[in-house]
Every structure is written in C-alpha cells, then in structure tokens.
Amino acid sequence: MKDQKAKIMFVCRTAPYGTIYEQEAIEAMIMFSSYEQDISVAFIGDGVFSLKKGQDPSLINIKNFTQTYLVLKDDFEISHLYVEKESLEERGVREEDLLAEVEVIPRAELRNKIDEMKVLLPF
Amino acid sequence: MKDQKAKIMFVCRTAPYGTIYEQEAIEAMIMFSSYEQDISVAFIGDGVFSLKKGQDPSLINIKNFTQTYLVLKDDFEISHLYVEKESLEERGVREEDLLAEVEVIPRAELRNKIDEMKVLLPF
Amino acid sequence: MLNIIKKSPYESSALSDCLKYIKSGDVILFTEDGIYAVKKEGAFGKLVSDASQTCAVYYLFPDAEARGIKSEEVISLAKPVDYKGFVDLVGDSLKSMTW
Amino acid sequence: MLNIIKKSPYESSALSDCLKYIKSGDVILFTEDGIYAVKKEGAFGKLVSDASQTCAVYYLFPDAEARGIKSEEVISLAKPVDYKGFVDLVGDSLKSMTW
Amino acid sequence: MKFGILLKESPYNYQAFDSVYNFANAALEMGHEIIGIFFYDDAVYVGNKYLEPPQGERNIKSYIHALKSKGVRLVICVAAGKRRGLTQNTVSESAEISGLGQLLELSIESDRLITF
Amino acid sequence: MKFGILLKESPYNYQAFDSVYNFANAALEMGHEIIGIFFYDDAVYVGNKYLEPPQGERNIKSYIHALKSKGVRLVICVAAGKRRGLTQNTVSESAEISGLGQLLELSIESDRLITF
C-alpha cells in the first residue's frame, strides 16, 4: 500500500432496516478503520435516519446495528462523521435527536469535504 | 379450483432492463394464460416504458422480452392490456409509440377496472 | 382496497403513485421504510394528513419503533397497528395493492 | 466529479439528490433506467437541460437504444457515449459518485 | 380466513421477508390459515440451504423451518430459482420447488393474496 | 489506468452486473487494467456456482469465467457471502472469497474506484 493515507468517504444515503445497505456499510467501516487510512462517513438524504435516537428493532427481530455509531469515532479509527444539515431539516430530525456525536454541516460545506476525497463509497 | 373464473390483474409499474421485474412478470403472465382464468395486465407509472417501440437491448446483451407483448392477447389468453393515459403523458410517450395493441384508458377508469379484480399482482 | 406503502417517500415514488389511485373508502397502511411518511415533522406529514380525509390511514407500530419514531412523533390521524392489526386490515379489505 | 445516475427519475430520488450536490465542472452520466431523465418529451428533460448549464451531461447510448430511446428523442445538450466513452469519463474525473 | 403470500424481494437486502414472517405468525396465532408463500424474483434466495447467518442475527433458515413446521407451504419458483442457482440440490428441506401455476392457485384459492 | 469496481446489487433483479461486465470489457480493450471487482451486499450472488440461466439469456457464469480469464480478480465478500449461503463450497471457481480489506486495497491501489 502507498505511504500517504488514502482519503475515503462512506456516503450513507439509505434508511436503516428497510434495506441492509446501512448495516453492511457499518461492517465495512469497522474493517476499514483498522487499516490506518483516513476514513470518514457522511450521512445525507435518508441516511440521516440511521442516526436517530431511540431505535428499537427488537419487535421486528432485527439487530440494532446503529449502536455502533456511538463508538465509531472513539473505539475505531474513523476521522469524521458528517451529517448534512439540509437533509435533517427536510426530515424533521433535530440535532438533539441524533444518537452519536456527529458534525452537522451544510450541504455546500459537505460538498467541499467530498472534493478532498480520493474515493466515495455510496451505501 | 373454483368454478367461476378468477379475475387477476398484473400491475406493471417498473421500467424494463434496469430490473428484472417486467421480464419475470411476463413469464408469469404466459403461464397464467394457460389456466383459463380472467387475466388482465395494467401498465402504470414506469411500466408504460415496457411498451415503447424500437427497443433493442442487444447492445447490452440482454434479451428483448417485450416482443412477447405483441402476441399476449392473440396467442395467449390475456383478456386485457390496459395502459394508463396519464402515465404515458407524463413520460412523453404517445399512443403511436406503443409496440402492441393496448387499451389506453384514463386513470380513473383503470381504477374502476382494478375494483373489479380479486387479486392484484404488482411488478 | 388496502394500499401498502413500504418504501421511503423521500427516495421512492411509491407514496405519490399510490395517492393518485386512492378512492374514498380505501385504507392506506405504512410499513417498513414507508413509516417515514407519517412522521409529523418532515416533508410528508401534511400530505398524508390530507389523504386521511379520504382514506383510513394506519402505520405498523413495530416498524415505527424499530426506526425510533415514537407515537407522539406521528401525525394524529394515523392509527398504529401491530402485526395482528395488519392481518385484520388485509382481511377487512377485499384486496390489497403493495406500491 | 463524475455523477452516475442509474435509476429512473420517475420512481427514485437519485436525480434530485444528485442535482443538490453538483458543482460547476462536474459531469453527469445517465445509465440504465436513469436514461429516462434525458428524454426530451417527459417530465425531466427541462430540468436536465438546465443542469447542463453547470455540468457536462452524457448518457450511455447502448442503454438508451435498449429502451427504444432514439438520439432524436434525447435533449440536445446531452451527449451520447458508448462503454468506451463511459470508461473515459471515469478516467477524466478524479472520482465518481453513483447516486 | 385463507391467506396467500407472494414475496418478490431478496431476504438480505430487503426487510420484506421479515415482514412476511411476522405477518404469517400473527395470522396463524389468530387462527387464520396461510395456504402458501410463493417466492419469486430474488425472493427465491430464501430457499438456499447453505445460508449461515452470523450469531445474534435473524436466522432465515430457522424462520422457514418454523413456518414449515406450522404447516405453511413454501414454494420456490422453479424458473426464477434455476436462473439464480436454486435447484433440487441446493434448496432447503423446508421449501419445495414448483411452477408459477402454484402462484395462480394461491391467487384463486386464497381469500386474500398479499404481496410483500 | 487502474480501475477498481464495487458491485452492490444482485445480478438478476438489477442490470448493474451487466453494466459492470460491459464497462470492464471496454476498459480492458482500451488497454486499461481492472485490478479487481469486489462483490458486496446482494452482489455476492454473482459468485454462485449453481447458476443455470435459460438458453438465449445472458449467462452470468460465462461472464465471470470470461472476466477471470482476462486476469480480473473477482472477490466475494466473506461476511456478506456467508449470510447469503456463498461459501468455499458453493462459490464459482472463477471467483474467490475474501475480506473487506480487499475493498480497502482496491480503494487505495486503483486510480479510480467506481461503484455499480
């Protein structure tokens, strides 16, 4: 592998549970975090619903994988968790409704972060 | 099976090729047509694109399954092929662009046909 | 007719396609990612509240809980059902359409 | 950045989500069921023509042919590419985003 | 009441099979009959006998064994299955492979057919 | 140029794998390198060795043999595969099963990573 750290961003655009994309995206984030690269995660569109507090999928017999977001920055080597402000607003989700400490930033600013990346992984 | 013919409608809502739903829906229509029931097909939303003339998926190495629509009413026992007028208009598809002889009817009238059905099979 | 909507209204046309077809006396049930449509604060709460003038509107409570949408966050005109209520809704309508 | 849109604009939010993120100098490529977005007669021709003021707009010609969309039915500002052109577009942009 | 069920979505990328499972259990508990579940399109993957879900995750194999043991017929479409590698050799013992005629029969014989 | 490819959709319900195949062939003809295709989510089904497509239909098995014979590495994610019944015993001889580290490596080593 090359010397300089690669800047890679997971772009999470789907809601949890209805599809498996967010769950398998998290599995990839955890794995990626152990390779000492520069990994960030952006939640846009329905992806912001993954961060909503109080999820309890036990009634539908599904594992609550989103708890992982609580520890992603601390226990794993994820550089940034960005959430797009406009997507939150459109969906009526407030910052205090979010389950993890994240950076809420406007779309235009997130686009600038995207421009710095080498690779985008949409989920 | 019961004596009276069951009224069953395939409701085709997806465009061809991007997903397999329309192709597998046709396979089901053909099979159903051999059982002497009252089978009809309604194309609404992106489903109307399945009927567009001049499709040639050979460049993407996919079979042109939509030719089957040409013979569905004649060679197979399909009672009606309905196409929703408003969906055609919204998509800029004219009646003369359609590859098979179909009944173009307004949404409200199609809804009345739907009300007569026993079973709807969405594809 | 029972109309079932299981996709997010933010990313799919399922809700808007359904609303074009509903008739007075229809029932709409929101399940899976369709749940986000009945959230009071959000882009579709008003639209679905309006639809409930024509149709009875329900949402699958376990799917809302899964997504952290508490009953107080749901528009007041949408009624919660559990899976048994879902079964009853299917039985009560002569047919169902999944959008 | 190359933006790839492969879902129908009539049933998916992929196009509208993408348009919120584009910047001057971006490229948009329509493939698969995304092709319906570049149809002149239809609900999205105008929107995509407007976007082409900011971005270069392309569509994958084999996917249009497959769907019976002839070049004369496509908005004039969208340029056709074959798979080799698709490869060039990926190479020409520093990265790609599939919506 | 007699219910028939049509499932079209794959069991891992989509929640639809979970919804079928929960719906079917509720209906059975209420004394209704599920006369069959027809698996079409990518839903045929439900019948794969090699599934090995990780611990602590919903187990599709045990779901279909449970449904079968409650007397629910689980029918994998033969044509859709063959395309996707589901054949007599690879199908779960709890499911059976049969033709689209079974979906028609479900449509006719059930009081309600519901699609997931 | 070195391309890496990530595929997430199942090969039958979606056109995405066809697009990958056509894209990869064009790139190889142009003298580019495809350093690997990573199959994740439902895309792992591409690697099923039991696929038997009907005559006259696109043949996924022959597609992956063709890609492999042109030197393209086809990697099925081990975790996503196991869930879905893809293991060493059921995987096509043209594909290999490996971990998510391979996707990271593709991200780093390729000049461009494209998702289908």
For an interface test with E, which of A17, A20, A22, A46 has the most E Cβ atoms less than 10 Å from its Cβ?
A20
Is the Cβ–Cβ distance between D98 and D12 less than 8 Å? no
A18 touches chain E (CB under 8 A): yes
Taking the whole predicted model, whether its pTM rises above 0.90 is answered as: yes
CA distance C21 to C18: 5
- Helix ranges (DSSP H) in chain F: 16-29, 60-69, 78-83, 101-109
Average pLDDT score, chain F: 96
Is the Cβ–Cβ distance between C58 and C89 less than 8 Å? yes
Is the Cβ–Cβ distance between E115 and E74 less than 8 Å? no
Tell me the chain B residues in contact with residue F12 when contact means C-beta distances shorter than 8 Å: 20
Average pLDDT score, chain C: 98
At E66 the pLDDT is: 97
Q: What is the third-level CATH fold of C2-98?
A: Hypothetical Protein Ychn; Chain: A, (3.40.1260)
User: Is residue B1 in a domain?
Assistant: no
For residue F42, which of D49, B101, B20 has the smallest C-alpha distance? Answer: B20
Residues 6+ apart with CB under 8 A from A112: none
Give me the phi and psi of D6, to 5 degrees please.
-120, 0
Residues of chain E short of pLDDT 50, as ranges, are: none
Residue E61's identity, in one-letter code, is K
B96 touches chain D (CB under 8 A): no
SS percent in chain A: helix, strand, coil, step 5:
40, 25, 35
What percentage of chain A reaches a pLDDT higher than 90?
80
Q: For the stretch E22-32, what's the b/e string if a residue is b when 16 or more beta carbons lie within 10 angstroms of its beta carbon?
A: bbbbbbbeeeb
Give strand pairing partners of F98.
F77
Tokens of C15: 């809700």
Strand intervals (E) in chain E:
2-7, 33-39, 74-77, 96-98, 112-115
CA distance F2 to E101: 49
Q: Is the pLDDT of residue D54 over 60?
A: yes
Active site residue F77: yes
- CATH number of the domain encompassing residue B38: 3.40.1260.10
User: Tokens 């800029």 appear where?
Assistant: B92
The model's pLDDT over D18-43, given as tens digits with 9 standing for 90+, comes to 999 999 999 999 999 999 999 999 99
Nearest to A120 among D13, D20, D95 (CB): D95
D4 three-class SS: strand
CA distances from D92 to C94, D35, E58 (A): 56, 21, 44
CA distance A68 to A116: 26
Residues 6+ apart with CB under 8 A from C58: C27, C28, C29, C30, C78, C79, C80, C81, C85, C89
- Contact between E13 and F42 using a beta-carbon 8 Å cutoff: yes
Terminal Cα-to-Cα distance of chain C (whole angstroms): 12
The model's pLDDT over A34-45, given as tens digits with 9 standing for 90+, comes to 998 999 999 999
Give strand pairing partners of C28.
C3, C57
At B44 the pLDDT is: 98
The DSSP letter of residue C81 is: E
Domain residues for the domain of B30 are 7-122
Assign B63 a pLDDT band (cuts: 50, 70, 90): confident
Tell me the chain F residues in contact with residue E39 when contact means C-beta distances shorter than 8 Å: none
Tell me the chain D residues in contact with residue A119 when contact means C-beta distances shorter than 8 Å: 95
Assign A1 a pLDDT band (cuts: 50, 70, 90): very low
What is the number of CB-based contacts under 8 A between chain B and chain E?
41
For chain F, the chains sharing at least 3 beta-carbon pairs closer than 8 angstroms are: A, B, D, E
Mean pLDDT along residues B64-72: 88
Per-window interface: F 13-42 vs A, CB < 8 A: 40-41
Is the Cβ–Cβ distance between E90 and E50 less than 8 Å? yes
- Contact between D17 and A114 using a beta-carbon 8 Å cutoff: no
Q: For the stretch B12-42, what's the b/e string if a residue is b when 16 or more beta carbons lie within 10 angstroms of its beta carbon?
A: bbbbbbbbbbbbbbbbbbbbbbebebbbbbb
At B3 the pLDDT is: 58
- Contact between F41 and E82 using a beta-carbon 8 Å cutoff: no
For chain D, the chains sharing at least 3 beta-carbon pairs closer than 8 angstroms are: A, B, C, F
- Contact between A62 and C45 using a beta-carbon 8 Å cutoff: no
B20 touches chain D (CB under 8 A): no
C58 touches chain E (CB under 8 A): no
Triad E5, E10, E16: Cα angle to 5° = 50
Tell me the chain C residues in contact with residue A12 when contact means C-beta distances shorter than 8 Å: none
- Helix ranges (DSSP H) in chain B: 21-33, 68-72, 85-90, 107-115
- HSE on the CB side for B121, CA within 13 Å? 29
CA distances from D33 to B18, D6, D7 (A): 5, 5, 5
CA distance C74 to C37: 9
- Contact between D66 and B91 using a beta-carbon 8 Å cutoff: no
The model's pLDDT over F22-62, given as tens digits with 9 standing for 90+, comes to 999 999 999 999 999 999 999 999 999 999 888 888 899 99
- Contact between E100 and B8 using a beta-carbon 8 Å cutoff: no
Give me the phi and psi of A101, to 5 degrees please.
-80, 115
At A56 the pLDDT is: 96
Instruction: Give how far A21 is from chain E: nearest CA, Å.
Output: 7
Instruction: Give how far A62 is from chain E: nearest CA, Å.
Output: 6
CA distance F52 to F67: 18
- Helix ranges (DSSP H) in A1-123: 21-33, 68-71, 85-90, 107-115
Superfamily of E2-115 according to CATH: DsrEFH-like (3.40.1260.10)
At A76 the pLDDT is: 87
Give strand pairing partners of A52.
A98
CA distances from A111 to D18, D26, D30 (A): 11, 12, 21
User: Is residue B102 in a domain?
Assistant: yes
Q: Is the pLDDT of residue C47 over 70?
A: yes
The DSSP letter of residue A6 is: P
DSSP secondary structure of F37-61: EEE-GGGGGGGBTT--PPTTS--HH
At B1 the pLDDT is: 47
For residue F78, which of F97, F93, F105 has the smallest C-alpha distance? Answer: F97
Total number of domains in chain B: 1
User: Is residue A48 in a domain?
Assistant: yes
Q: Where are the domains of chain D?
A: 2-98
Complex ipTM value? 0.96
Is the Cβ–Cβ distance between E23 and E5 less than 8 Å? yes
Tell me the chain F residues in contact with residue E54 when contact means C-beta distances shorter than 8 Å: 79, 82-83
At A3 the pLDDT is: 58
Tell me the chain A residues in contact with residue E18 when contact means C-beta distances shorter than 8 Å: 60-62
Is the Cβ–Cβ distance between F9 and F16 less than 8 Å? yes
The DSSP letter of residue C22 is: -
Catalytic residue among F7, F43, F75, F77: F77
Tokens of A76: 């794993």
